[in-house]
Amino acid sequence: MSDTSILTAAKRSPLLARAAAFAAVGGFLFGYDTGVISGALLFIQDDLHAGDFAQQAVVGSLLLGAIVGAAISGYTADRLSRRWTKFGSGCIYVVASIGSALSTSVGELIGFRFVLGVAVGTASFVGPLYISEMSPPKARGGLVSFNQLAVTSGILAAYLVDYGFSGVSGNWRWMLALGAVPGLVLAIGMLTVPHTPRWLASAGREDQARDVLRSIRTDDDDVDAEMDGILEETHDESSTSWRDLMAPKVRPMLVVGLGLAIFQQIVGINTVIYYAPTILKATGLGNGGAIAQTVAIGVTNVVFTIVAVSLLDKVGRRALLLTGTSGLVVSLAVLAAYFTFPTLQHDLPILALLALILYIASFAIGLGPVFWLMISEIYPQGVRGKAMSLSSMTNWGFNFLVSFTFLTLTGAIGRGGTFLLYALIGVGAVVFFAAKVPETKGKTLEEITGQVEGDYAADEAGSRSARERSRT
């Protein structure tokens, strides 16, 4: 397949397109369920008499559930398959969405949001994992990031649903219940698509793996060569214990994956996603204006994710990651200045919105899609499920940490100080990415593993000969 466009890939293999689309419905729910609660809380607090602590618990229980979901599904994705794990998450979405909508007490709601979180944590990485293992190398960046496009669309849908239902009685129940519909689509959809060829090969089902690969490739693709690569790696990487993540040749990529996971959250993305109206209200806007501008932020997130999806296989992951993260630093510095100097707030009130738009656009072309994409590419087959699970747990853990320190942090060092801190962290991220993140564009997953292991062997040989030289 010489054309890198995902549309071409999808047109040539409708089955591949269907598989990627259904898998990405899990991403849509990840976005919807994390985004919907900010608007719903305004009504839950009255209906269920939820105080500050209870409200934070309603928000936080989903994030804690996501950590648990990411942990469990590392095991089930290897054992039961990527496909059945996704099917399971669809079923949990349906039950937990309806359960949360029918909750009669804060305790029940917290419980159901936790269960919902298990599905969110699962879908967050098994979606990219499933799509990555199905995709042809030249279109993998766009196809996997289709999942991130679904996440951002889910967030936007949640903002719009919150807005649309805000005048309807019993509204928060509808806001939460609606998540059951895509959950059902996900579960039924996963019944109609195949297992990934790489999972089938690792389960010893080689003939089926070859059949699936043939059905999702075109006549121009060398299916036999790709299959040989998969089998070779499956034989090399047969053991899959958690301890294998610490193997010296896996460790460098684990550092990259965990670094991306942590930086994606500690540049403060979810303070903007969850608290945008609060930040905007601090610029002097009323409720209505703040919500309308929040929708503008949601639209920007979707539009720039589309830009990323179309560019990732052309300009590569590194270029987008470095450009996007540099943009984050600039916008955070502007926000820090805005909240530090009252004259700016007075003379140039629009600056906060412009900086937030630049911030979200920069995240959407870089760290947003690239983190989930890279963790689906850089780990060897034998540890891919577990290494992705650990990276996702770390990401959700830091999401929880940042979301719950934001209001305390702004209380302690002010909004200006908080955004300055995020900007400095962003500078650290640019340096780390420039030094450590490899380019994976256009390579098969097996070639990426070969390249990483080759680099590791070369480094080892280099330091061994340096040690020998220093001894003589």
Q: What tokens appear for 129 in the block? A: 């994992």
362 binds ligand BGC (CB under 6 A): no
- Contact indicator for 88, 122 with CB cutoff of 8 Å: yes
| 26, 197, 368, 380: which one binds ligand BGC (CB under 6 A) | 368
Q: What tokens appear for 216 in the block? A: 């999702």
* Whole-number Å distance between alpha carbons of 325 and 211: 41
376 binds ligand BGC (CB under 6 A): no
Kindly tell me which of 16 and 260 has the beta carbon lying closer to ligand BGC. Answer: 260
Quickly count helices (H) and strands (E) in the chain: 20, 0
Least CB distance to ligand BGC at residue 371 (A) = 6
269 binds ligand BGC (CB under 6 A): yes
Least CB distance to ligand BGC at residue 309 (A) = 13
Stretch that binds ligand BGC, among 146-154, 161-169, 170-178, 309-317 (CB under 6 A): 146-154
Exposure of 89 by Cβ count < 10 A (0-12 exposed, 13-18 middle, 19+ buried)?
Answer: buried
Inter-helix orientation angle 180-191/14-47, to 10°: 160
Q: CB count, 10 Å around CB of 185?
A: 18
Q: CB count, 10 Å around CB of 427?
A: 15
Kindly tell me which of 149 and 216 has the beta carbon lying closer to ligand BGC. Answer: 149
Burial 401-421 (b: 16+ CB within 10 A, else e): ebbeebeebbeeeebbebbbb
Q: How far, CA to CA in Å, does 116 sit from each of 94, 98, 379?
A: 9, 10, 28
- Contact indicator for 422, 267 with CB cutoff of 8 Å: yes
At 74, which amino acid appears?
A: G
273 binds ligand BGC (CB under 6 A): yes
Stretch that binds ligand BGC, among 106-114, 148-156, 184-192, 240-248 (CB under 6 A): 148-156
R_g of the chain, CA atoms, integer Å: 22
148 binds ligand BGC (CB under 6 A): yes
Kindly tell me which of 96 and 269 has the beta carbon lying closer to ligand BGC. Answer: 269
Kindly tell me which of 270 and 294 has the beta carbon lying closer to ligand BGC. Answer: 270
Least CB distance to ligand BGC at residue 406 (A) = 13
391 binds ligand BGC (CB under 6 A): no
Q: How far, CA to CA in Å, does 53 sit from each of 11, 45, 317?
A: 50, 11, 40
320 binds ligand BGC (CB under 6 A): no
Kindly tell me which of 30 and 93 has the beta carbon lying closer to ligand BGC. Answer: 30
Kindly tell me which of 1 and 299 has the beta carbon lying closer to ligand BGC. Answer: 299
| 61, 270, 376, 389: which one binds ligand BGC (CB under 6 A) | 270
Shortest-Cβ-distance residue relative to ligand BGC:
368
334 binds ligand BGC (CB under 6 A): no
38 binds ligand BGC (CB under 6 A): no
Smallest Cα–Cα separation from 373: which of 149, 178, 213, 140?
A: 140
Taking residues 225 to 264 in sequence order and writing x for each that binds ligand BGC by CB under 6 A, - otherwise, the string is ---------------------------------------x
Q: Mapping DSSP to helix (H, G, I), strand (E, B) and coil, where does residue 442 land?
A: coil
Stretch that binds ligand BGC, among 46-54, 136-144, 192-200, 267-275 (CB under 6 A): 267-275
* Whole-number Å distance between alpha carbons of 456 and 467: 16
| 20, 37, 120, 151: which one binds ligand BGC (CB under 6 A) | 151
389 binds ligand BGC (CB under 6 A): no
152 binds ligand BGC (CB under 6 A): yes
Least CB distance to ligand BGC at residue 274 (A) = 8
If phi over 0 gives left and psi between -120 and 50 gives alpha, with beta otherwise, what is residue 414? left
Smallest Cα–Cα separation from 84: which of 126, 132, 120?
A: 126
Stretch that binds ligand BGC, among 113-121, 174-182, 266-274, 404-412 (CB under 6 A): 266-274
- Positions in the binding site for ligand BGC (CB under 6 A): 34, 148, 151-152, 155, 264, 269-270, 273, 301, 368, 372, 395, 399
